[in-house]
Structure 1
Amino acid sequence: MRITVFRGRMADEFGQVRAEMVARDHVLSALGGRTPDEALEAGLQVKEVWLAVCDAFDVPEQRR
């Protein structure tokens, strides 16, 4: 998964503004206590970050 796809899926799921806030501000234990943006900057795989967000926000399987 590319970062552009990740950003698009985030916007589709949460709306553009909330997606940016979640990526910037929401700390996830599944990402080692990082926000999604921090995890991406640290080099975690984009798909791993997306799935962690999906788990944290109960995104239905068909939209993952």
Structure 2
Amino acid sequence: GRTCLTFDQICDGVVDCPGREDEDNCVKQTRSTNIGTRLTTGHVIMVTVLILLLTKLINQR
């Protein structure tokens, strides 16, 4: 039979289904995921600095 699970029970690291269906095909956080987060943060900082510099240049005119 089928058992309903809450969304929080899927891919939470705890096997809730006898056949492990709730934990199969889950994306695990790896170093590459963390690097991607750092790159995204770096891009936000870079764009913010660029906007501040452009604003300063425009205001000097």
Asked if these proteins are the same fold (TM beyond 0.5), I'd say: no
- Which has the greater radius of gyration? 2
Q: TM-score, normalised by structure 2?
A: 0.23
Name the one with the larger helix percent. 1
TM-score (norm 1): 0.22
